[in-house]
Amino acid sequence: MKIGKVLIANRGEIALRIHRACQEMGIRTVAVHSTADAAAMHVRLADESVCIGPPPARESYLNVAAILSAAAITGADAIHPGYGFLSENANFAEMVEAHGFVFIGPRPEHIRMMGDKIAAKDAMRRLGVPLVPGSLGALASLEEARQVAAEVMYPVLIKAAAGGGGRGMKVAQDESGLEEAWRVARTEAKAAFGDDAVYLEKYLDRPRHIELQVLADTHGHVVHFGERDCSLQRRHQKLVEEAGSPVLDAAQRDALGAQVTRALKQLGYRNAGTLEFLWQDGQFAFIEMNTRLQVEHPVTEMVCGIDLVKEQLRVAAGERLGYGQSEIRFQGHAIECRITAENPDTFLPSPGRVTTYHAPGGLGVRVDSALYSGYAVPPHYDSLIAKLVVHGGTRAEAIARLRRSLAEMVVDGIETTLPLHLAIMEDPEFQAGDYTIHWLEQFVARRNPAR
């Protein structure tokens, strides 16, 4: 199957990133956009564009009928969903295929399976992947939550089966807090996902978040591209990611990689995916799988010297991977800063017109951003405006390069988190690689003692 034209069902930096890969492969692109994004960079650079609705995402970027019509009228062969929006919607993937387009992503059944975190954990348990201890399925009652919590021991976490973006997740430090955590998690889950099924996990007190990037073709070959350490989070949202993890050595990476690729081969998985783990005391425990390209994929590309979007396009077209695990090499160290249009202390959103934009450059510096001078960041969408990614021979060099690049970068007219990222890079604990998933929240609190 030849893919000659791809519709990119997304916006912002990721739409641009997918467009770039297509263009280098001689594939034409179709941008879709809301009326708020008529002047956006992805619309300007794509070969064709179609307006699919008004600013609210549910009427545009989540409007399946409008997106499928846009693909039909422009004669697209395939649809790339990017991340967010419809990227993990199994019904959308199914409809894309039912309408005769190639879905650039996993099989709908695997998107569905991994979108239900309880089903995902169950599948991984059966495939021999280690899990965070907890309930085996959805909790039927508060009484059952009490029993499981007593078995795995407090503190525990109540999590939404349909969870995402850190919502529907509540910690109970001890039995007295369980009822409240149970109630709040279910209410949040119902409101955010329309599904109040919850499960229970032991709450790990000082883990790192380490995830593994995988890729599978449709001929039974599965490889991994190593790990990313995404422990720097605020409200369970990642801010800084690095490849590799400062705490893993090659043998530990190989062992995890072998286990995961074996499992996905057995599952018959296809295209790109990421398995997320918590790592504590040298042990990995699976928490969830993302069946899509992730925001932080560039750090992997920098250390492996591959283009993950091109690989996605190749395997979606039915091509064989054409290389084995032993040909994938990891070189140097890469770090990504997610720069958002937010106040760096209060995190209040700061959309508006960017009067001056200047991106840093030089050896080993990559900026994935859809900004330009004069562009107005719309208030309707995610606040991510740029990903600054650097590669260095060593982690220390990458950090020095980030400090230099962050200082060079100019985004005037709106508030951004650039100063926060600079402060993180200058912190001795970060520089030592000595952090857990709780480190960033404490760092932010130390920076703003009055708050």
Report the catalytic residues. 292
Q: How far is the CB of 237 from ligand ADP (least distance, A)?
A: 8
Residues 116, 97: contact at Cβ < 8 Å? Answer: no
Structure-token pair, residue 283: 């042990």
Token reading at 83: 């991340």
Closer residue to ligand ADP in complex, CB, 157/377: 157
130-133: which pairs have CB atoms within 8 A and are 24 or more residues apart? 130/283, 130/284, 130/285, 130/286, 131/285, 131/286, 132/201, 132/202, 132/204, 132/278, 132/285, 132/286, 132/287, 133/201, 133/202, 133/285
Q: Does 315 bind ligand ADP (CB under 6 A)?
A: no
Among 188, 201, 296, 368, interactor with ligand ADP by CB under 6 A: 201
Tell me whether residue 157 or residue 212 sits nearer to ligand ADP (CB atom): 157
Instruction: Report the residue from 15, 79, 287, 335 that binds ligand ADP according to the rule CB under 6 A.
Output: 287
Q: What is the DSSP letter of 62?
A: T
Q: Per-residue x/- marks for ligand ADP, 244-283, CB under 6 A?
A: --------------------------------x-x-----
Number of residues in contact with ligand ADP, rule: CB under 6 A? Answer: 19
Q: How many helices (H) and strands (E) does the chain have?
A: 15, 20
164 binds ligand ADP (CB under 6 A): yes
157 binding ligand ADP? (CB under 6 A): yes
Q: Could you tell me the smallest distance in angstroms from the CB atom of residue 118 to ligand ADP?
A: 12
Q: Please, what is the minimum distance in Å from the beta carbon of residue 358 to ligand ADP? A: 33
When asked if residue 304 is in the footprint of ligand ADP (CB under 6 A), the reply is: no
Binding to ligand ADP, residues 101-140 (CB under 6 A) = 132
Q: What DSSP assignment string belongs to 312-351?
A: HHHHHTT----S-GGG----SEEEEEEEESB-TTT--B--
Q: Which stretch binds ligand ADP (CB under 6 A): 50-58, 201-209, 361-369, 390-398?
A: 201-209
Which residues is 274 bridged to in the sheet?
213, 290
CA atoms within a 13 Å half-sphere pointing along the CA-CB vector of 343: 6
Query: Is position 163 an interface residue for ligand ADP (rule: CB under 6 A)?
Result: yes
Q: Indicate the residue among 227 and 288 with the shorter CB distance to ligand ADP.
A: 288
Stretch that binds ligand ADP, among 77-85, 196-204, 248-256, 313-321 (CB under 6 A): 196-204
Minimum separation from the CB atom of position 438 to ligand ADP (A):
8
Going by C-beta distance under 8 Å and a sequence separation of 6 or more, which residues neighbour residue 226? Answer: 212, 213, 243, 244, 253, 257, 300, 303, 304, 328, 330
Q: Which helix (H) or strand (E) holds 188?
A: helix 178-193
Beta carbon nearer to ligand ADP, 235 or 320: 235
Distance, in Å, from the CA atom of 255 to the CA atom of 232, rounded to the nearest integer, reads 24
162 binds ligand ADP (CB under 6 A): no
Among residues 20, 221, 236, 265, which is the contact residue for ligand ADP, using CB under 6 A? 236
Minimum CB distance to ligand ADP, residue 406 (Å)? 24
Q: Residue 369's beta-bridge partner residues?
A: 386
SS3 184: helix
Task: Give Cα 391 to chain centroid, integer Å.
Answer: 19
- Site for ligand ADP, rule CB under 6 A: 132, 157, 163-166, 201-204, 207, 209, 233, 236, 276, 278, 287-288, 437
